[in-house]
Each structure stands twice: as C-alpha cells, then as structure tokens.
C-alpha cells in the first residue's frame, strides 16, 4: 500500500530564526508519522531583502545573473538548517537546492519560469524514507546557471513539486487561512473555509496577499489539492477546490492593492500612432499595464492606464521620449470585490456606484471580469471603501 505524500511550504516568517526553525521541524515530524513529506522553504525572515540591499550598495544596476546567484543563497541557508535540525531529532532528512531537486527553468534572470521538474531524485529520497527539504524560488536554466522565479516563487516551487508527485500541497503562513477581508482593516472579516481556484487566482492578482498567482494556475491545471493554513500544524485552514461553484450567492473577498500609479496621456495631433508606440516600448521594458480606458474629447483621444509606482520613472522616460502629453497621479489604490456569486447576481456594480455617491467617494477607473469588479480610489479612502463594501455585501 503506497503512502500518501504531502508537500509542506513554509515562508520566511515561519523560519525567521532558529527557534522558529525548531518549531517547524516539530510540525514536520508529526506529519512524517503517517505520510511521506517534501518541505519547501523560503529564506529566513528578511534575508532576501538584506541580500538585495547589499548588492545595490555595490552597484546601481547589479548584473541579473549574479543577483540570482546571490539571493538563491538565502533559501540554501534555511533548507540546510532545517535539515540539520530534523536529523538532530533523529528524523532522517536531506536538503536539496532547486536544481538538485530537478527544477529546469527558462526566461529572464530574476523572473524565470518553470519548464519542468524532474522528480527522480526526490522520489529516491522519499523511497529511502527521508524528508526532503527543497529550496524554494530557484531552478537552473539550459546554460546551467542558477535562476530564481521571482517574488512568491517558493509557492510556485511547492505546487509544481506537488503536481509532479501527485501530492497534496499545504502552504503554511502566519494566519489560519484566507479571510474575506484584511482583519486589520475590517474587524468583521470572516475566515473562508473553502475557496475555488478561480476565486483565489483572482484575489491573488488583485492584491490579496495570500499566495503567488502562478502557483494557483499550476494547481488548477494539475488538480493539486491545496490548503492555506496556520504554521502551528494543528489549526484547519482554507481549502482550495476546483469547480465553478455556480450556486454560490455571496461574494468571497474584498481586497486592496496599494502604490498604484494612474497615468493619463494624449497626442494633440489626434493620431494614435505615438500612443501605440508608447505601449509597445513599455511592453519591451516589461512594465506591467493594468486597467486601460479611453475617452475622446473634441476629436482628441486620451488614454488612461494604471501601473505601479515602482514603474513611474520608466513610464516617464518612455512618454517623454515620444513627446506625449501626460499626467500622473500617485496615492491611489485599487479596491476589488471578488466572488463566483457575481455570475448569479445582478446590480452589484449599481450598488457600489450608489455607495460611492452617498459617501462622496471619488473613483478614477473601473475594471471588471466575470467574477470581480475593481475601482481605483484615493488611498486615503481605501479603509472606508473596504468597510463599506464588506458591510454592504456581507463579505
């Protein structure tokens, strides 16, 4: 009879110091009693940020290949320390780097994508009844260089391993699951027991800081059973399931994304050629563009779009090089409501408009999907907007 396998992912705060490493080891020891266990770990605490700061103290533009070499060391430290701790507890364990664990990747340094995971070595260690501790966030490209998968890459690493092993995946965090809103903002936020892949992916893209969106995409594609849970190893968390949940009648989540940049640009010549060139060059520079809208006044086209404040200088550089008239607004945020129940309900947008009108709240942009509506509002109003929407829709 084959033993069930679980992939357990622990983030940086869960292994922030040696005492927390010991606590994580005890949780893993309990799971090992009736399951085969693979563990994926992030770097300890703020290690990655510290390493990045060191690099930028030496260079304004550090080489991206060398940056991957540098930041990958953070996960190696946490994985090896956790493995040492487990072995000291007489729990056989072995630590592996991403490339030792079979992660083949491609793309740009700092934001590689997973090509495949060869789990041959992982299976061998599991057959030998070892706990396998894998460094998250990293792999190896066709040139044989160490690569990293970008922020949140450890989530993606964990789900990718689970997909290849046919295992369940547990993401351990500082909270006991996913909430309908940030409890620090909305005191009435409710814990969500079950969420669909679709809802979780939308929430992740729209600012709910619960999991990396790519990991949810992989989980849905391969049918990986997931649970977001508290890092005490006992408290039940939020299960992530498939299906469209067509009969659902309540919305799931309201969340916010801060540090949004709102840009409006126009070409007084009335031509759209320069505007098109701007978007093409922004794409070449990997500047993420989110909401886009267009208005035409007196035969002059004005395009508005949102991006991130971090991209401000890059966007300015492009627009000025094309001699485009533009305006920028910072201190705005995107507030979104999410839920598959939107498929069954009408009048949600109308209700939000009514709330904004009654409360004298200005919004600058709006975007919709099949299961979400997002509004760009002044950052100073986000807390009030979240509370109003959560109360209005019983989120």
Q: Is 393 annotated as a binding residue?
A: no
207 appears as a binding residue in the annotation: no
179 labeled binding residue: yes
What is the three-class DSSP state of 142? coil
Q: Sort 302 into a burial class: Cβ within 10 Å, 0-12 / 13-18 / 19+.
A: middle
**Would the annotation count 188 as a binding residue?**
no
Q: Is 306 helix (H, G, I), strand (E, B) or coil?
A: strand
Kind and range of the H or E run holding 261: strand 253-266
247 vs 109: CA distance, rounded Å: 43
Question: Is 174 assigned to a binding site?
Answer: yes
Tell whether 12 is in a known binding site. yes
**Is 9 annotated as ligand-binding?**
yes
Q: Is 10 annotated as a binding residue?
A: yes
DSSP 91: -
75 is in an annotated binding site: yes
Which token pair is 173? 């965090």
Specify burial of residue 269 (Cβ count, 10 A radius: 0-12, 13-18, 19+). Answer: exposed
Are the beta carbons of 378 and 332 closer than 8 angstroms?
yes
Q: CA 38: distance to chain centroid?
A: 21
Determine contact, residues 366/385, Cβ cutoff 8 Å: no
Q: Which residues are annotated as a binding site for substrate?
A: 48, 75
User: Which residue positions form the known binding site?
Assistant: 9-12, 48, 75, 173-174, 179, 184
Q: Which residues are annotated as a binding site for ATP?
A: 9-12, 173-174, 179, 184
């Amino acid at each position: 009879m084959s033993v069930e396998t679980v992939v357990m992912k622990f983030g940086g705060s869960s292994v922030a110091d040696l005492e927390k490493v010991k606590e994580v080891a005890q949780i893993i020891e309990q799971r090992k009693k009736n399951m085969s266990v693979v563990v994926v770990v992030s770097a300890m605490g703020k290690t990655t940020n510290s390493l990045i700061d060191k690099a930028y103290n030496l260079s304004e533009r550090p080489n991206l290949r060398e940056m991957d070499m540098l930041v990958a060391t953070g996960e190696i430290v946490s994985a090896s320390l956790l493995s040492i701790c487990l072995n000291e507890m007489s729990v056989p364990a072995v630590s592996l780097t991403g490339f030792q664990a079979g992660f083949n990747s491609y793309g740009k340094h700092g934001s590689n994508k997973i090509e495949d995971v060869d789990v041959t070595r992982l299976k061998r260690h599991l057959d030998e009844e070892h706990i396998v501790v894998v460094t998250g966030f990293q792999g190896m490209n066709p040139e044989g260089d160490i690569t990293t998968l970008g922020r949140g890459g450890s989530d993606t690493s964990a789900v990718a391993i689970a997909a290849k092993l046919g295992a369940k995946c547990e993401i351990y965090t500082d909270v006991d699951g996913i909430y309908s809103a940030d409890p620090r903002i909305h005191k009435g936020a409710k814990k969500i027991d079950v969420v669909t892949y679709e809802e979780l992916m939308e929430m992740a893209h729209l600012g709910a800081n619960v999991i990396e969106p790519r990991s949810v995409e992989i989980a849905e594609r391969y049918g990986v059973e997931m649970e977001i849970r508290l890092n005490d190893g006992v408290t039940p968390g939020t299960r992530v399931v498939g299906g469209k949940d067509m009969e659902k009648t309540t919305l799931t989540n309201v969340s916010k994304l801060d540090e949004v940049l709102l840009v409006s640009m126009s070409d007084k010549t009335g031509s759209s050629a320069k505007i098109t060139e701007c978007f093409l060059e922004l794409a070449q520079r990997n500047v993420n563009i989110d909401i886009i809208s267009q208005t035409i006044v007196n035969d002059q086209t004005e395009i508005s779009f949102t991006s991130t404040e971090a991209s401000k200088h890059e966007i300015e550089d492009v627009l000025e090089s094309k001699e485009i008239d533009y305006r920028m607004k910072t201190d705005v945020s995107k507030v979104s409501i999410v839920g598959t129940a939107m498929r069954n309900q009408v009048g949600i947008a109308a209700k939000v408009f009514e709330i904004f009108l009654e409360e004298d709240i200005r919004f600058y942009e709006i975007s919709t999907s099949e299961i979400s509506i997002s509004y760009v509002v002044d950052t100073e109003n986000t807390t009030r907007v979240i509370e109003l929407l959560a109360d209005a829709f019983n989120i």
